[in-house]
Structure 1
Amino acid sequence: MTFPFHLLAPPDPATLPLPHPARPADGVTLLRGAVYAVRDGSRPLTADVWRPADAAGPLPVVVFVHGGAWHTGLRDDLGPRFRDWTPGPFARLAQAGFAVVCPDYRLSGEAPHPAQQDDLAAVLAWLRTRAADLGVDPARTVLWGESAGGHLAALTALTQPAGTVAGCVTWYAPTDLPGLAEDRPEGTYDAHDPASFEALLLGGAPADRPGAARAASPVTHAGPGAPPFLLLHGTDDSLVPARQSVRLAEALRAAGHHPDLRLVGGGDHLWVGLAEADVADCYARTVAFARRCTGG
């Protein structure tokens, strides 16, 4: 008999059982490690889903995209300023009435751009197919990312069909990869360096791959269909200059939008240098923005 090769096909994430819910905090359930995509030649991609316990009705969604220079990072890590929060920042969002989705994505050591963008598009598609199972309203989805994750959140928000995403929040994100050579202090960035984090993302040095660098830059895609944006960036950021967020705000304004750009005085990357009250304010502004965009 002929072997039924169709049995070797990977399972469809749209039909896989969801993980058993845990209770990480009062009033919160957590589905840890739900598979949202199975890529050929790659590990299965998973996401954590935080929800308010016993919530009624479809929930607004915040999709959080972790940072790590596209090369490392943990899907449920908002950075060192939040690691000692109890309850943590995602549990707090769930307690505020949101479903929070924290996905893995392929890192630059696994696949170059646009793999990461494709993975986040797959997360959004998975939310649409599993909306009833998860109790969410995918039409009320806000993307939120910090650093490289902010870049990916913005890129995804600006390249999805209009109306797919209700809003986007970026924290200290690179938005114009060709512009980094101008924005970073002289001698601190080499666009010809094939080992830079940007080169690893693009599959080659940005100076040698200008088309790819432009395509991977959110500013390139700022158009009339863009969702509302909140951009937070420290004025003293020594890794990703604040000018990068200014560039995206300018591109969105040129396309007819009114992004909320907040330059946080004294803030370095990862909110290093900020007082605890100022860090908490960045978080509170993000939650308030998500609530405005989703009616959550």
Structure 2
Amino acid sequence: MKKAISLVFISILALSASSLFAKDPKQIFSEWDKDKNGKLSLEELPRNARPNFKRVDTNQDGTISLAEHEAFLNRPRQPRRERPIPEGIKAFRNLPYAQTKNPRQTLDLFLPEKRAKDTLLPIIVYIHGGGWKNGSKESAMGKLAPYLATGSFAAASINYRLSGESIWPAQIHDCKAAIRWLKGNAKKHGFDPGRMAVWGNSAGGHLVAMLGVSGGVKALEGKLGEHLDQDSRISCVVDFCGPTHFLSMGKFPSNIDHDAPNSPESQLLGGALQENKKVARKASPITYVTKDDAPTLIVHGSKDPLVPFNQAEIFHKALTEAGVKTPFSGWKGWDMA
């Protein structure tokens, strides 16, 4: 089991650069605006963005303003289509894990058609980011496909209720219900419930970190689904840029005012962080760290403009002091956003 966990850690880290969450529009604009005049010229755009210059420059003045930039990125788009399944992968889509008809309480399960060995497979479970208010399980295939292609892993991707629909702790209740569902159906699909890695970025990083530290916390289990006889413990965690201590996020440089009533964290909790300190502590993974937590790989960029790098540092320290195996990849100079 240790060998399989190590393989998950190493291989996911190797693909880390391709699994980062989307940048905030203002951050993109600031990075591209080399002369800091508040406008983007054609020459300042990356080559792959230049073909859209005339579409974005709606007033045709030869430059792109922040308003034009944001309007283009936030323009109405066609609903996201399910990414085609690569050859050799069997997909089970939109499986309800909570005995409801809510599409936010479904998961996708993926199995290799040809297995490398005739044995139960370890499984990688991906939880999407998006500030707890955006995102979906459909974003996972590009990340999971390389592992499925080896024939050595099963994989799953989870939807959970977003903050616009339900506030905390609905999100962790959903994730734990999904884990229990997977364990309850492991034998049927030929994967090992005792070798389950969870991987998430940003808000998903927060949720996988919470899964890693709360396996024995009854208050966070919820009572969703038909597999309440299963526990929600997992084997290892891969946390990309996840918030871990909500009350300290506002103390460090960020493009987001995390303490503001409209911050992603405040929307998750249903009120401003500093006015809801008790709930904020209960929603922070660092609160639950104990020596029996799952091994946790932490990946975070030192210049992350959204989730302060300190969130990774303090979580790594807490896990280490508790005696939990926790490799830490702090990428200096990377924003990981």
- In the superposition, the TM-score normalised over structure 2's length comes to 0.66
Partner residue in 1 for 2:247: 178
Which amino acid is 2:137 matched to? R
Partner of 1:141: 196
Partner of 2:274: 207
List gaps (5 residues or longer) in structure 2: 1-82, 217-230
Distance across 1 between alignment mates of 2:133 and 2:84: 31
Q: 1:44 Cα deviation (Å)?
A: 5.9
Unmatched tracts of structure 1, length 5 or more: 1-21, 79-86, 271-296
Q: SS where residue 110 of structure 2 aligns?
A: strand
Q: Is the aligned partner of 1:46 residue 2:106?
A: yes
SS at match of 1:50: strand
User: Residue type of the partner of 1:223?
Assistant: T
Aligned ranges 1:1-296 → 2 under 5 Å? 24-39=85-100, 42-43=102-103, 45-55=105-115, 56-77=118-139, 88-96=142-150, 97-161=152-216, 164-185=233-254, 188-189=256-257, 191=259, 193-270=260-337
Aligned partners of 2:98, 2:114: CA distance in 1, in Å?
27
CA RMSD of aligned residues (A): 2.2
CA deviations 1:20-74 (Å, max 9, x no partner) are xx9822322111211111349x556111112111333221011101000000002
Per-residue CA deviation, residues 210-234 of structure 1 (Å, 9 max, x unaligned), is 0110111111111111111100001
TM-score w.r.t. the length of structure 1 is 0.75
Alignment identity in percent? Answer: 33
Which residue matches 1:294? none
Structure 1 contact 184–240 (Cα < 8 Å) conserved: no
Q: Equivalents in 1 of 2:325, 2:185: separation in Å?
A: 33
Cα deviation, 1:129-185, whole Å, max 9, x if unaligned, reads 111222111110011100000001101121113992110001111111011021235
Inter-partner Cα distance in structure 1 for 2:103 and 2:303: 37
How many residue pairs end up in the alignment?
Answer: 238
- Rounded Cα–Cα distance in structure 1 between residues aligned with 2:332 and 2:155: 29
**In the alignment, is the contact (CA less than 8 A) between 1:23 and 1:30 conserved in 2?**
no
Contact 2:208 2:237 in 1 (8 A): yes
CA distance in 2, matches of 1:163, 1:116: 14
- Counterpart contact for 1:58–1:135, Cα < 8 Å: yes
Q: Which has the higher helix share?
A: 2
CA distance in structure 1 between the aligned counterparts of 2:103 and 2:84, rounded to whole angstroms: 27
Show the counterpart of 1:290.
none
Deviations 1:88-143 (A, max 9, x none): 32111112311111010000011111111011110111012111222111110011
